Structure 1
Amino acid sequence: RPSNSASEEKQYKLDFDYETNLPFIKKIEFGGRGTDFSTKGYGYGGYIIDGGTNDYSTADDTVIYTNAVNSTATILSTQTADQTSPTAASAAYTTGYWSTTETWSRAFSNAVFSQAMTQLPDAFYYGGGSLPSTWLYPNFNQVAQYLDTSHFNLNNLTTTTGNDGKTYEQIPYQIQEQTDALYLKFNYEFPLFDYDVVGNFGWRRVHTKTTGTGAQTRSETYAATNGGTSTTYVLSNSIASMTKDYTVWLPSFNVGLWLQPNKLSARAGFAQLMARPRMDYLMPTVSCTTDNSPDANGEFDEPSCSAGNPNLKPYRANQYDLSFEWYPNSDTQLSLGLFYKDIKSFYVSSRTLIGKVDVYGDGVLYNYNTYINGQGAKISGLELTGKTALTWLPGVFSGFGVDANYTYQEAKDVELYSTLDGSPLPFPGLSKSSSNLTVWYDKGPINARIAYNYRSKYLSSAADTSGQPVFKEPTGYLDGKVTWKPGPKGLQLFVEGKNLTKEEEVSTAGDIRLIEQGYFGRRFFMGFTYKY
């Protein structure tokens, strides 16, 4: 299944500073910036131009080729002669892809598999008890020499022909995002009761325009009457486009002063925030399937749709900050930060089952999975930070230092509810507790650091395909790096380790239902850089 995509991004930026020398306003900053990002791609194409009068037959369909190629080998135990060349090859419009069929004897197929299967060179799953630590994987180049790969090309990637003899364009994946922003900021400074007060205030105007094109597909699956493979009929295909255009104004205000000169400072701030959803979340793509193939118990899966959401709103919030920083000496900093976010809207970064929807207005209800907005939340928390260089230690030990950070936050009034029972859900992606601890060394040619990062459990999806909310379990990662750099220029060598404690990532739905368990390995890197 070949694919091809091309992306282009243009950026511009223009900034001005004006020194006023006024008693209150010391400097004015203003300017603008903009981006124009576009991408267009083709992947597994092919679609129905006209479904004909019979929705459940492909005989009267007007269809086009996809760029996919299927090459099938049939193994027969009674076949004694090795047939290593195709016995049939056709451009199968009805199946939508180029197909070839070959017949191999059991002996020949065993010989192919024995030379094609390769064991992973490294163990993958550590600490799994009796579970295999690795597995076999196929070397496709070894198999390809025995199959017909003459149609493995890009001939039908962007344009192709239909069974009516006409040429059609494949459905592209196409999206463009254009942004422009203007800002105006005033920097001020003035004395107040023997304190020097500094800060700034201003506004940003941000305009965003997003356009996209995608495919909308409706299909039904039926079991074969003879017990064979089920057949999926595409009832309709169409190309849909969307345009989303909005402008927001974002004010901000910051103030700071030294409560004790060079020892204790205080800062406060307010800002309105905005974050755009990913462009592919907004795509007007919809794929709906009705499964009429019963399982072993005679039950049917409910009709379902997977879709983008062109009406998805950006993240919007009012943020308030207050912090105090204390410098007991030139090597140490301690700080306490308090924050509060009044979130007006947010989006969930995974598709969520929103309920049953009559998508086509014909009474068929589909379990509709798409990206959704939450309408509000209030997050409050605190952050403790400490940094110190242990220069008071003797000799070579004076190069050590420690950085530590702890954050606690909680969300209230989250307008997000379980689709199963209506119970309230926590704010997506929000861990109540997170922390990091770094021990570092920087003296002479040696620079080294080892860091531990932890975050507590959080909601990753409001609803999976069964409607259950999905949570990520707590994780803690230990990483380290040692660099040898004899000078600011020249050769530098480093050794780095990732996930030294072999941490896993686990997703669950409820207390006992495991959704996903991922292990990304303990990894080591060696390398060098050269600066001149």
Structure 2
Amino acid sequence: MHAKIKLPATASLLALLSAASLPLSAKTTPTPPKDEIPADEKIVDLEVFEVKGFRSSLSSAAEIKQSSATIVDSIVATDIDKLPDINASYALSRVPGVQLAHTFSGLGGNGAVTIRGLNQITNTLDGRQVITPGGIANGTAGVGVGQRTFDYSQIPSALIAGIDVYKTAAANQIDGGLGGLVDVRMRKPSDFAEGYGGGITAGTSYSALRDKNEQNYNVFFNASKKTEGFGKIGLLVALSDITTPWREDAISIGNPVASSTATTGVPTALISSGYNVNSSYGEFKTEGFNAVLEWQPNQSWQFYVGYNPNKWRNIQDTVQFVTALSAANVVPGSGTMFGGSSTAVRSATFANVTGTAYGFTRDLENKLEMFNAGGRYKAGDLTVKFDANHYTSSNRFYNNLVFASVNIPSLTYDLAGDIPSVRIAGVDLQDPTGYRLNQVNYRLFPSNTEGKAARIDAEYNIQKGFLSKVAAGIRYSATTSDNYPTGLFLGSYSFSPSNNLLSQYPGQWGPSPIKDFYTGYSEPQIPLYLTGSTAVMRDANAFYKTYGATNTPDTSATVNRLSLFDIEETTTAFYVMPQFAGLIGGYRIDGNIGLRAVETKEDTNGFQGANSASAVPLNLQTSYWNYLPSFNGRIHFTEQLSLRTAVSKTITRPNFGSLSPSLTLNANPVNPALNSGSQGNPDLKPIRGTNFDLSLEYYFNKSDLVYLAGFRKEVKGFISSFSEQRTYEGVTYVISTSKNLNPATIQGFEAGFQKFFTFLPKPFDGFGLQSNFTYVDSSTPTTVTGAGTVDTPLTNLSRQSYNIVGMYEKGPFSARVAYNYRSDFVTGFAYFVNTGLLRQTMLGYGDLDASLNYDITKNIQIAIQAVNLTNKLRYQVYGSKQVPSNIYLDGRQLMASVTLRF
């Protein structure tokens, strides 16, 4: 369609708010009647152009950015089921200043989202805070419980209207986001014109590495109507069921250890402590439903109710072969150095190596169910909004496995080349007589969250003088987090010499199903090995009985009370936020200044003791206030050029799991030196930040802009993990816990540009470009066992990241090519006695994606999407490629769909 939009030059933030909550609406805000426009707000005529597809999406995002009182970047879906990327996580990675860690072939999972270097962010769904309590922690599956993060993969992208990333704070934002706030907006009936409409999208997803495809569909219906006596009523119902196959191959190299005999004349040569290969494969299953009913009986009142149940599952099988290498079994003088000043051994031969073959199931499941209701009352200059919601969110991580060992007389690895290579001799890894079964394991990591919240927000338009509006509100929330019913449950059954032969369990062991490991690469790897069948593993009791276990999870499981925790957190927040607009020195300025005061009460329950039998209940209660001032100001040099400035204080409360007083002990039956445990710290304090932001923005027209932003965050109380040895009942464990550290500084800048080249001759006037660049520098004290406290960059933070998106849109055809790159980033630290402090680093990598859309008619559209076109490897190293840690191959993903509308 063609449109000439008229907007107030200082369109208020509230004019763009949805009726439900704080975040901005995806649709274009209608121009208010002239008698409702404050006298100090002028009408700006924006350029006339065709609004559709990518351009419509970018125009809406630019409008949100320009009209907001805070610094915000947005992604807006081009249509009801057309988020620009395959999922919300991929879409978020396009936002300047946002970085995500790859998880599960880069397609799903809560991959450590950061905004300008900080992963302590507030996550909301239609303005309502929501939490995924467990699952992925910093890119590692199954280790996180009691988290405050949100897994964006569990919301089907087809149901999303847009995503807003707020980088500066305002008093009316929900507190708790040290780095910012991310809001996922769902569709509402009022997003559409009066009448009815609907459609269905059917498609398929294909994994090239897996060589498998799955079918998908999305269905939606919306209707709205004005009646004579009942007012206006609207209904939207949307359903999505998406299954995506995936596979990831990985080569893992053990941490380096010193060897004085590997290479003659190099007493400090570093050899690898293992050479491991594994393939993981499975399906992501995302099921979502969104229902919203809106009713406007008259001009003064509006009401709504909504229901959002969503479920995300990753059904994963893993086959793995692990070798244990050491200085003791290296063949003296067999090592070859890389040369130069490097002390790393490029290749070496080892004798009498123990190899271990595994079969795993590693299933993750997120469930979210949210109910909400609220409305709006407007009388003259007063607007009051009210909203209440209740949600339950759970995560389950199931990890079942069996493993068997085999002796390898000779193993030689070579770390040169694109990927390392390995050769073995003296054993046939497909001969079952060489293996001996070790153990069957069953593991369950449960985590649950329940949240209730209610808020009232009021705004009064003063319309006279410099003070234009006053906003105030109150919000109450109660959130519980626990790991019931079992806590971290680890069950095991060890084989005795009388029942550890593979031949005693026919049909349960066979050749690995992965026959093309690292397809496309010719370097030799571990030859085809035997692995345990995963077919029976998802029924834990049947799995145990298959291997003749005398105990099963149902019959022998006793809940370790030391691992349990139950925390209830209530917050009561009040805010007041005057807004101003006027002229100073001939320049128009606007903004807000506010104060948010929030009281937090923690009721922490757990157990303490030397063992589960002697565990005694423990209850701790704390209460504290935080006062969070904020200022957001903007000066308009012209109607197109403006400068923003923002100063604020923000907090993030510790993860619930980190606050737990409970103690978890994990004994290792094979190697007691690897006994481990974890315990929270109820004395942890919130992390506090002081934030400074500047942003210079120039808008060519409604969709085209260029901007440069700088930021600095001074953070106190970062929470750092550390480990220490403790002895319980005569057994020593390495216990992981945490404490607050001071201080940390994060600073950097962002630059962005987007434009459609309408000045070019036809047909080239359909081209457009979107690009952005982010630089972030950080320093924080980190506690590492054995190394003490050292200053390091924040983990999972790249110094540089950028996006380049090329677009073409003309008539019924549109195409998009997007490249996302992030530079090296630290993933963790470890201290080893003979090598000192080692920094694990993921080397920089980029992803190239593309999509094509064609409108056969106005009611029929076909779409093709491709992910990871370059099929690049991802390298994780101990400092350099000469000392590798992990190399990942994810493979390409292809999607195709047909959409029918009515």
TM-superposed CA distance for 1:375, in Å, is 0.8
**CA spacing shift, 1:431–1:449, aligned 2, 3 Å:** same
Q: How is 1:63-78 mapped onto 2 (pairs within 5 angstroms)?
A: 70=493
Task: Tell me which of 525, 535, 552 is aligned to 1:140.
Answer: 535
Q: Which deviations, in whole Å up to 9, do the C-alpha atoms of 1:103-148 show, x marking residues without a partner?
A: 6997664x4246x666148856653722269875514339859567
Q: Is 1:391 matched with 2:769?
A: no
Q: How is 1:266-415 mapped onto 2 (pairs within 5 angstroms)?
A: 266-287=643-664, 301=673, 305-328=677-700, 332-348=704-720, 351-353=721-723, 356=724, 367-411=734-778, 414-415=780-781
**Amino acid in the other structure paired with 1:309:** N
Q: How is 1:444-459 mapped onto 2 (pairs within 5 angstroms)?
A: 444-459=811-826
- Give the corresponding residue for 1:476: 845
Q: How is 1:107-146 mapped onto 2 (pairs within 5 angstroms)?
A: 109=505, 111-113=506-508, 119-120=513-514, 127=521, 129-131=523-525, 138-141=533-536
Measure the CA separation in 1 of the matches of 2:497 and 2:462.
84
Structure 1 gap segments, 5+ residues each: 47-65, 77-102, 161-167, 220-233
TM-superposed CA distance for 1:483, in Å, is 5.0
Measure the CA separation in 1 of the matches of 2:604 and 2:573.
21
- Give the corresponding residue for 1:35: 477
Measure the CA separation in 1 of the matches of 2:469 and 2:566.
43
Measure the CA separation in 2 of the matches of 1:507 and 1:130.
20
CA contact (8 A) 1:448 1:480 kept: no
**Amino acid in the other structure paired with 1:35:** S
- Give the corresponding residue for 2:575: 183
Q: Which deviations, in whole Å up to 9, do the C-alpha atoms of 1:150-190 show, x marking residues without a partner?
A: 98685777x88xxxxxxx98964533333332221111001
CA contact (8 A) 2:562 2:607 kept: no
- Give the corresponding residue for 1:204: 596
CA contact (8 A) 1:429 1:458 kept: yes
Q: Which deviations, in whole Å up to 9, do the C-alpha atoms of 1:370-391 show, x marking residues without a partner?
A: 2343311233322211111122
Q: TM-score, normalised by structure 1?
A: 0.69
TM-superposed CA distance for 1:14, in Å, is 1.7
CA contact (8 A) 1:218 1:236 kept: yes
Measure the CA separation in 1 of the matches of 2:497 and 2:725.
45
1:440 aligned counterpart, secondary structure = strand
CA contact (8 A) 1:286 1:308 kept: yes
CA contact (8 A) 2:798 2:824 kept: yes
Measure the CA separation in 1 of the matches of 2:609 and 2:884.
32
Task: Tell me which of 886, 890, 893 is aligned to 1:523.
Answer: 893
- Give the corresponding residue for 2:462: 20
Measure the CA separation in 2 of the matches of 1:169 and 1:257.
58
Q: Which deviations, in whole Å up to 9, do the C-alpha atoms of 1:63-100 show, x marking residues without a partner?
A: xxx89585x77786xxxxxxxxxxxxxxxxxxxxxxxx
Q: Which deviations, in whole Å up to 9, do the C-alpha atoms of 1:34-67 show, x marking residues without a partner?
A: 3323244446579xxxxxxxxxxxxxxxxxxx89
Measure the CA separation in 1 of the matches of 2:501 and 2:634.
81
**CA spacing shift, 1:415–1:74, aligned 2, 3 Å:** closer
**CA spacing shift, 1:372–1:147, aligned 2, 3 Å:** same
Q: How is 1:144-159 mapped onto 2 (pairs within 5 angstroms)?
A: none
CA contact (8 A) 1:196 1:257 kept: yes
Q: Is 1:498 matched with 2:498?
A: no
TM-superposed CA distance for 1:498, in Å, is 2.6
Q: Which deviations, in whole Å up to 9, do the C-alpha atoms of 1:355-414 show, x marking residues without a partner?
A: x46678x999975422343311233322211111122233343222111111223235x4
Report 1 or 2 for greater relative contact order, CA contacts < 8 Å, sequence distance ≥ 6.
2
TM-superposed CA distance for 1:272, in Å, is 0.9
1:8 aligned counterpart, secondary structure = strand
**Amino acid in the other structure paired with 1:316:** R
- Give the corresponding residue for 1:10: 452
**CA spacing shift, 1:328–1:457, aligned 2, 3 Å:** same
- Give the corresponding residue for 1:249: 627
Measure the CA separation in 2 of the matches of 1:151 and 1:254.
62
**CA spacing shift, 1:415–1:170, aligned 2, 3 Å:** closer
Measure the CA separation in 1 of the matches of 2:899 and 2:601.
42
**CA spacing shift, 1:138–1:200, aligned 2, 3 Å:** same
- Give the corresponding residue for 2:34: none
1:424 aligned counterpart, secondary structure = strand
**Amino acid in the other structure paired with 2:576:** L
TM-superposed CA distance for 1:202, in Å, is 0.4
Measure the CA separation in 2 of the matches of 1:21 and 1:304.
64
**CA spacing shift, 1:208–1:456, aligned 2, 3 Å:** farther
TM-superposed CA distance for 1:487, in Å, is 9.2
CA contact (8 A) 1:408 1:433 kept: yes
Higher-Rg structure is: 1
**Amino acid in the other structure paired with 1:307:** Q
Measure the CA separation in 2 of the matches of 1:202 and 1:218.
49
- Give the corresponding residue for 1:89: none
**Amino acid in the other structure paired with 1:445:** P
- Give the corresponding residue for 1:228: none
**CA spacing shift, 1:146–1:343, aligned 2, 3 Å:** closer
TM-superposed CA distance for 1:530, in Å, is 5.5
CA contact (8 A) 2:722 2:783 kept: no
2:658 aligned counterpart, secondary structure = helix
State the Cα RMSD in Å. Answer: 4.4
Measure the CA separation in 2 of the matches of 1:274 and 1:133.
52
Measure the CA separation in 2 of the matches of 1:69 and 1:21.
70
CA contact (8 A) 1:331 1:391 kept: no
**CA spacing shift, 1:389–1:453, aligned 2, 3 Å:** same
TM-superposed CA distance for 1:197, in Å, is 0.9
Q: Which deviations, in whole Å up to 9, do the C-alpha atoms of 1:499-527 show, x marking residues without a partner?
A: 33334444444445544444444333334
TM-superposed CA distance for 1:18, in Å, is 0.8
**CA spacing shift, 1:502–1:112, aligned 2, 3 Å:** same
Structure 2 gap segments, 5+ residues each: 1-441
Q: Is 1:434 matched with 2:818?
A: no
CA contact (8 A) 2:472 2:576 kept: yes
CA contact (8 A) 2:457 2:471 kept: yes
Q: TM-score, normalised by structure 2?
A: 0.43
TM-superposed CA distance for 1:270, in Å, is 0.7
Measure the CA separation in 2 of the matches of 1:189 and 1:13.
27
TM-superposed CA distance for 1:193, in Å, is 1.6
**CA spacing shift, 1:10–1:382, aligned 2, 3 Å:** same
CA contact (8 A) 1:336 1:384 kept: yes
TM-superposed CA distance for 1:319, in Å, is 0.9
Identity of aligned residues (%): 24
CA contact (8 A) 1:67 1:154 kept: no
1:140 aligned counterpart, secondary structure = coil
- Give the corresponding residue for 2:25: none
2:787 aligned counterpart, secondary structure = coil
1:435 aligned counterpart, secondary structure = strand
- Give the corresponding residue for 1:50: none
Q: Is 1:424 matched with 2:810?
A: no
2:705 aligned counterpart, secondary structure = strand
CA contact (8 A) 2:511 2:528 kept: no
Deviates more, 1:464-473 or 1:309-318: 464-473
CA contact (8 A) 1:409 1:433 kept: yes
